[in-house]
Chains A and B, each alone.
Chain A
């Protein structure tokens, strides 16, 4: 090194100075971030703050996180979460943007854990991000709660998770639930079509749905499936192609702006006069559809969330606080975020330690594993993937708009218990559906 330095030219000296300055500046900034850490329980919240997923998912989630964290810090929540903060320590939320792809998210996850020294990370809507983050979470021994992403591969590939948990449900559950709901409410239909966004989410959803419908409604024929590019917005040709085949039910895993645009265009073009649409993520636009979604459209919320959440003191508090602050009711992503944070609090407090102390990631994950906790969406059992994956019921219902009040409600709600729609441990959802749901316990 000495040798190198003695021959370093002026230019190199400047480079070295530049790099050193940059490194110095960054460590100084890091110092600022760490200085704020004074016995608080710091939680990294990662969700979409920009891009197409921000409006329907990211912002409601971030808002829910703010409502819950503020409520917990004041000790305003009803039992069993009436105690202040987490384990008595004040919660500090660090919210960052999930946009930008998996490589960037891995980098930002490391920054959260190693630079911002968060005690836990709650987040991730994109399945690609979850898949990339899970091994890093294990590597850094950082407690991570995935609250929304739906990929079935999360815990089947990463077989022995210790520090990562998922409080949201597997996407296969959405589509098994949808198939069961159709079988129960529309047993006579014969022609089904689909429209999905052409990426992993849409492909997997359609795959699971067609497998499940073949089991629950063997007479049904799939007449058409369209796979437009994600965020396309214009579905003229797709709607024509679907109309030509005259389906009775159109299944769609669309979400966000795509879903709203599709429903608007399909309704205006008359497709939805003759066919009922099944929207697995439909609840997230409940307040916006107005008279543009036909009454009777079947909508889901990826679990017992949002408008489907059961009536209990926790949810009453949550809906009221959320509505007071943001002047609209929480949609399903908001409920899911609230559930994840409550799960984290329950586990951390179960892990114990003196009042005001932050338990270690090991202690919290041991307590989290296989636990049962109360959430805004009812009781959650961490009952799959060796105690790392939540099991909950899933609900579907039909859309009903009242033009007088301008409010939409959900009717004909049907709830399928967790064990009715979730494959047991050791079986992939694929194999479970194909085998005809062995061991399913339906209510």
Chain B
């Protein structure tokens, strides 16, 4: 197996994160990183669809399915093996996505966004109605095991979820990197650019979107499951539209330029938010809003363009596709 530069960087970064996290970082930072990376997996699901020109305002649906699978598997099925719980969430999300995908792939643009939002909100409604699942209060995730080791609170739990999340994030990013370079991944981008021409090539955009939708659901459910293990609690808010909106937000914050972008964006988002809350408890939303606005205005391709800008000679910026970018040229530092 030959590794390209991105993949090597990925492995290196994962190792640095693991070592740094386990030996140097304070507890709160480990937890913040864990949740940010887990959420970034959901964002990866959003980005996968964004590459094909579809914006899901309902990715919280699969995030929630993944989370509830972990919670309910422990609570009602008596399963405690963490990896099995995560797998149940992924399988449940895949099955759900295979059904919903049949309908969803007929839609584009804002209608796709709103229909995905509607499905997510229907799940939210069902969960709110389910008093045995604690309604809006949700319920706590029982103690669980990792490879036979019981994980129940304490530093050990924080570290276990952190390690699990970093490995899962690296693995997903690794495969996504390959996926985006595969013919299916490339076709997704072609669909975004011009769907009709893809059809002329003899390909079916609908079924490619379908496969992409299902894969995105699986990745997002994994993120949901990891979040549930980390926070130890699930509630229907995971499927509420503002949660999905946050994922789209983070996706655009990072940009679709690289598999690293969602991770970077999620970490930056979390850090900005937590310090805004600490220093300006009454106006943290405003700080968040201005920060994001600034990023969108000055870095329309997302935070990731900070890292690609150095290579101006790269063909990316030479592409004549965008006329709007030149408008902001003067504003860039």
Q: A26-B271, A107-B274 are in contact. Are A11 and B307 (CB under 8 A)?
A: yes
Q: Is the CB of B20 within 8 A of A23?
A: yes
Instruction: Contacts A1-B15, A138-B153 given; indicate if A153 touches B26 (C-beta within 8 A).
Output: no
B28 and A139 contact, CB distance less than 8 A: no
Q: Residues of B contacting A182 with CB < 8 Å?
A: none
- Kindly specify which of A98-106, A338-346, A383-391 makes contact with the partner chain: A98-106
Q: Does residue A4 face the partner (Cβ distance < 8 Å to B)?
A: yes
In the complex, whether A185 has a CB less than 8 A from a CB of chain B is no
Residues of chain A within 8 A (CB-CB) of B153 are 135, 138-139
How many chain B residues touch A (CB < 8 A): the figure is 58
Interface string of B266-286 (1 = CB under 8 A from A): 011011001101100110110
Determine whether A19 belongs to the interface, using a CB cutoff of 8 Å to chain B.
yes
Interface status of A241 (Cβ within 8 A of chain B): no
**CB within 8 A of B136: which of A1, A7, A108, A128?**
A128
A200–B278 CB distance below 8 A: no
Interface centre among B140, B153, B157 (most CB of A within 10 A): B140
A29 touches B275 (CB 8 A): yes
Q: What 0/1 readout, one digit per residue, does chain A (73-106) give for beta carbons within 8 Å of chain B?
A: 0000000000000000000001111000111001
Chain A contacts for B29, CB-based, 8 A: 23, 26-27, 115
Report yes or no: A136 in contact with B35, Cβ–Cβ below 8 A. Answer: no
Please report the C-alpha to C-alpha distance between residue A245 and residue B8 in the assembled complex, in whole angstroms.
Answer: 70
B32, A111: Cβ atoms closer than 8 Å: yes
Say which residue of B19, B26, B139 sits within 8 Å of A114 (CB atoms).
Answer: B26
Decide yes or no whether B16 CB sits under 8 A from chain A: yes
- B134 — which chain A residues lie within 8 A by C-beta? 131, 153, 200
Measured CB to CB, the closest approach of chain B to A12, in angstroms, equals 3
**Is A49's CB within 8 Å of the partner chain B?**
yes
Question: Given A19-B13, A158-B140, 10 other A-B contacts at CB below 8 A?
Answer: A8-B9, A15-B9, A19-B267, A27-B29, A29-B275, A96-B277, A101-B243, A107-B274, A128-B138, A139-B153
Interface pairs A-B: 5 shortest CB-CB: A12-B9, A4-B12, A132-B233, A200-B135, A114-B28
Q: Is the CB of A135 within 8 A of B140?
A: yes
Contact A14 B307 (CB under 8 A): yes
- Residue B208 lies at the interface, judged by CB distance under 8 Å to chain A: no
From known contacts A14-B307, A111-B274, A198-B128, infer whether A95 and B28 are also in contact, taking CB-CB under 8 Å.
no
Query: Which listed residue, A8, A14, A50, A139, touches B285 by the CB 8 Å rule?
Result: A50
Closest CB of chain B to A430's CB: distance in Å?
Answer: 12
Closest to B133 in A: A200
CB-CB under 8 A for A116 and B233, given A12-B8, A18-B264, A199-B136:
no
Instruction: Give the contacting residue for A4; candidates B11, B284, B307; CB below 8 A.
Output: B11
CA separation between A165 and B138, bound complex, in Å? 20
8 chain-A/chain-B pairs, Cβ below 8 angstroms: A1-B16, A4-B11, A8-B12, A23-B25, A50-B282, A107-B274, A200-B136, A203-B131
Answer whether residue A151 sits at the interface, using C-beta atoms and an 8 A cutoff. yes
Chain B residues 296 to 315 lying within 8 A of chain A, measured CB to CB, are 306-307, 310
Q: How many residues of A contact B (CB 8 A)?
A: 60
Report yes or no: B31 in contact with A26, Cβ–Cβ below 8 A. no
Tell me, yes or no, whether A252 is within 8 Å of chain B by CB.
no
Chain A residue with Cβ nearest B240? A101
- Shortest CB-to-CB span from A258 to chain B, Å, is 14
Q: Is A66 part of the binding interface, using a Cβ–Cβ cutoff of 8 Å?
A: no
Q: Which of A4, A14, A128 contacts B16 (CB 8 A)?
A: A4
Query: How far does the alpha carbon of A242 sit from the alpha carbon of B35 in the complex, in Å?
Result: 45
| Residue contact A131 to B11, C-beta cutoff 8 Å | no
> Could you say which residues of chain B place their CB within 8 Å of the CB of A9?
5, 8-9
Binary per-residue interface labels of chain A (1-31) against chain B in the complex, 1 for a CB within 8 Å, 0 otherwise: 1001101111110111011001101110110
In the complex, the answer to whether B138 meets A108 with C-beta atoms within 8 Å is no
B25: chain A residues within 8 A (beta carbon): 23
Which residues of B147-181 are within 8 A (CB) of A?
153-154, 157
B127 to chain A, nearest CB (A): 10
A8 and B277 form a contact (CB under 8 A): no
Check: A324 CB closer than 8 A to any chain B CB.
Answer: no
> Does B27 reach chain A (CB closer than 8 Å)?
yes
Contact residues in A for B154 (Cβ distance below 8 Å): 139
